[in-house]
Structure 1
Amino acid sequence: MKKETTESDLHSRALVWKTISQETQELLQRIEKILHIAKLNLDALDTEEALEGFSNTAKHYSERNERLQQRITHFEDKLSVMNECDTSECDLEFSDEVEAISMEVEKGKNGSSILASEISSYTDCKLSD
């Protein structure tokens, strides 16, 4: 890990992760509402199956996001040990965790945004039929 990385830097990064994760969770909640409304308005069997698929994907993302939020909290709890960390192996462990969480946050955010776009395109297309 870079020498200039401090515990406060990592706490700040964790706050950014939490913010992005919360925004992702709010997007997923909006997706669920949109899907519920779409199910009421669109009654074709193929449409219902597609919406169910979207709903299952949203639930999967939501569960993954909840686990991510727990991981971030666990990481923050471990930060108090960082000052006692005096080996390169310990530094590497923190660095690896930072990279893994960062990638997971981005992956969740991007996946949820793509899902929202797919749902929007699908419902717009079906409603215009």
Structure 2
Amino acid sequence: MSYGINAYQQVGRSSANYADPWQLTEMLFSGALERIAQAKGAMERGDTAAKGERIGKAIGILDGLRGGLDHQAGGDLAANLDALYDYMQRRLVSANARNDAAALDEVIALLREIKEGWDAIPAEARNAHQQRAPRADGTAG
């Protein structure tokens, strides 16, 4: 998940230093959505440089989300998310090259759906997961 923190910090969010993994993931989703919306606005204005920069940052954030996946514990879900994040990254590259606002809208819709699922995880489940997670010394929390 440290790769995700680095990706988010590159887009200017110092609060990532103090976020727990649940909050960090929510911040990554929000940051990616924000960068894609900014890229769409830049596309509409014809600002090619800003469009490319924002899409690049969104791709980096998606890379951070991919890097935070636990393929061993996550099984098929992690594999499916990895494939979906890869697909979104490729759509963003295509959107940038072709000035395709519809591709940006598609990625926004996909990210929103994943984020809504993430946000719907009950706090009790998040807390239970954090309590079971091993600490730096190898003992359970």
- TM-score, with normalisation over the residues of structure 1? 0.45
Higher helix share: 1
- TM-score, with normalisation over the residues of structure 2? 0.42
Larger CA Rg, structure 1 vs 2: 1
* Bigger RCO of structures 1 and 2 (CA < 8 A, at least 6 apart): 1
